[in-house]
């Protein structure tokens, strides 16, 4: 059994994907070919924003956002401690200081009240200038944007949505990728919408930001890439990856239904002494992961392994626990909820091509391990 079955998805889409790839091989525009623009238009339409600009990966998407917002040394950027490293990495890479925030106990996303405490603390200390918030749609569930937008407005901070996992999620009909001043996503193969290599994108309704993104991703180009008006990077989405994504995006709404059906089955049938994912009223998840918290995680994982069910830990190390951020001087006591999650979370297989038999096996294994 696969944790995420990309081969089954390819078999389902094979003819269409193969044809799209052949088209690129025939026209030969491997960099910024017509598929890239077609994809950007379709992604913008799907998300419901004015501009989508693709790039080389989800980390670059975040880094480009730092560049566009002119985040620099002396700035504080607030982000959850319970996330993938890239979220905080780009802040430090820009020379700014990441200020970590604890998780909401039920959703595992950034906790708005702790965020406000951390902002107040930075203001009081007076050393750093509060600049932006990066919220993460962890495991597919959009962060609490209605609350985060209020906090961003109150303290005049820019809000960035890291929708690397959230693409496909919604809040009251508004799609992930449409929140904040800028949203970013990743097309890493295992993400809800993945390509066959690295890929990423940014989303914004702001025309000025969109123009800057288009410049920064191609060496700070002016009228063309040999006219360089600012220091940029080289971060484009390959035409071949855009071709793959066009076919995957066409099937994505259908896949989302299947992910939600599997999540509903898990919600209904998994029974034991652990916490299941909690989706607030009006929110929907893209189910990038289905994650349980379990006091005896080792036992759960061992039993699943015995039954041939793969499990993964996302994430076993919070940002404040990472060696690279040692110098920030945080301790687990600063983030009690996230520190507990890092010890207790366990994700079980989740993808749209799960067979009924495998789903039953997973449910049986998890229930068995938790009753023993
Ligand atoms: C995957 C991921 C990223 C980075 O995406 P890449 O395409 O791998 O660079 C950033 N943030 C989060 C929350 C992610 O899950």
- pLDDT tens digits, one per residue of 94-147: 999 999 999 999 999 999 999 999 999 999 999 999 999 999 999 999 999 999
For residue 225, name the pLDDT band (cuts at 50, 70, 90). Answer: confident
Q: Report, as an integer, the average pLDDT of 67-74.
A: 98
Q: Which atom of ligand 1 is nearest to the CA of 288?
A: 15
Cα–Cα distance, 215 to 356 (Å, whole number): 48
Q: For residue 61, report the distance from its CA to the centre of ligand 1, in Å.
A: 9
Percent over 70 (pLDDT), the chain: 99
Contacts of 80 by beta carbon, 8 Å cutoff, 6+ apart: 87, 100, 101, 102, 103, 109, 110, 135, 136, 138, 319, 338
Q: Report, as an integer, the average pLDDT of 278-295.
A: 97
Q: For residue 221, report the distance from its CA to the centre of ligand 1, in Å.
A: 26
In a domain, 176, yes or no: yes
DSSP run (H or E) holding 129 = strand 129-136
Edge-to-edge strands of the sheet including 170-171?
Answer: 174-175, 170-171, 283-284
How far are the Cα atoms of 8, 45, 106, 201 from residue 52, in angstroms, in the given order?
Answer: 29, 9, 31, 7
Same domain, 228 and 195: yes
In a domain, 1, yes or no: no
Q: Report, as an integer, the average pLDDT of 148-173.
A: 98
In a domain, 172, yes or no: yes
Cα–Cα distance, 136 to 157 (Å, whole number): 16
Q: For residue 231, how many other CB atoms are within 10 A of its CB?
A: 9
With the most atoms of ligand 1 within 8 angstroms of its CB, the residue from 56, 79, 84, 103 to mutate is 84
Same domain, 239 and 264: no
Same domain, 119 and 226: yes
Q: CATH no. for residue 287?
A: 3.90.1150.10
The number of distinct structural domains making up the chain is 2
Chain mean position to CA 62:
11
pTM of the model: 0.97
In a domain, 45, yes or no: yes
- pLDDT tens digits, one per residue of 188-213: 999 999 999 999 999 999 999 999 99
Task: Name the DSSP class of 44.
Answer: H
Ligand 1 within 6 A of 347 CB? no
3-class secondary structure, 228: strand
Same domain, 33 and 80: yes
DSSP run (H or E) holding 224 = none
Q: For residue 165, report the distance from its CA to the centre of ligand 1, in Å.
A: 8
For residue 273, name the pLDDT band (cuts at 50, 70, 90). Answer: confident
Same domain, 243 and 342: no
Same domain, 79 and 193: yes
Cα–Cα distance, 133 to 137 (Å, whole number): 13
In the predicted structure, residue 28 carries a pLDDT above the cut 60: yes
Q: Which atom of ligand 1 is nearest to the CA of 83?
A: 13
- Identify the domain containing residue 323 by its residue range: 252-371
Ligand 1 within 6 A of 64 CB? no
In the predicted structure, residue 371 carries a pLDDT above the cut 70: no
Chain mean position to CA 371:
33
């Amino acid at each position: 059994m696969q944790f995420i079955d990309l081969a089954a998805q390819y078999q389902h889409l094979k003819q269409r994907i193969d044809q799209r790839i052949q088209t690129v091989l025939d026209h030969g525009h491997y960099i910024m070919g017509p598929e890239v623009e077609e994809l950007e238009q379709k992604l913008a339409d799907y998300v419901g924003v004015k501009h989508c600009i693709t790039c080389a990966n989800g980390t670059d998407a975040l880094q480009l956002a730092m560049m566009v917002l002119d985040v620099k040394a002396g700035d504080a950027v607030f982000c959850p401690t319970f996330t993938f490293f890239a979220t905080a990495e780009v802040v430090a890479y820009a020379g700014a200081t990441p200020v970590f925030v604890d998780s909401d106990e039920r959703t595992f996303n950034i906790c708005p009240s702790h965020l406000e405490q951390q902002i107040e603390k930075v203001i009081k200390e007076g050393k750093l200038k509060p600049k932006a918030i990066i919220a993460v749609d962890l495991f597919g569930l959009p962060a609490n944007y209605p609350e985060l937008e209020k906090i961003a407005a109150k303290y005049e901070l820019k809000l960035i949505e890291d929708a690397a996992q959230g693409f496909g999620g919604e809040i009251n009909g508004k799609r992930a990728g449409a929140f904040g001043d800028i949203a970013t996503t990743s097309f890493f193969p295992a993400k809800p919408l993945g390509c066959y290599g690295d890929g990423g994108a940014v989303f914004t309704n702001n025309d000025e930001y969109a123009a800057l993104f288009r410049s920064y991703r191609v060496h700070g180009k002016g009228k063309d890439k040999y006219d360089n008006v600012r220091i940029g990077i080289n971060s484009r989405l390959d035409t071949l990856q855009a071709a793959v994504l066009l076919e995957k995006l066409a099937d994505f709404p259908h896949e989302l239904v299947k992910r939600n059906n599997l999540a509903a089955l898990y919600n209904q049938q998994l029974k034991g002494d652990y916490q299941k994912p909690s989706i607030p009223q009006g929110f929907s998840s893209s189910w990038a992961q289905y994650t349980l918290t379990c006091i005896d995680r080792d036992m759960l994982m061992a039993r699943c392994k015995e039954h041939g069910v793969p499990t993964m830990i996302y994430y076993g190390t919070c940002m404040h626990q990472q060696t690279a951020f040692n110098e920030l001087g945080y301790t687990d006591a600063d983030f009690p909820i996230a520190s507990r999650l890092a010890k207790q979370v366990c994700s079980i297989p989740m993808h749209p091509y799960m067979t009924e038999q495998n789903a039953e096996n997973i449910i049986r294994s998890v229930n068995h391990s938790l009753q023993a």
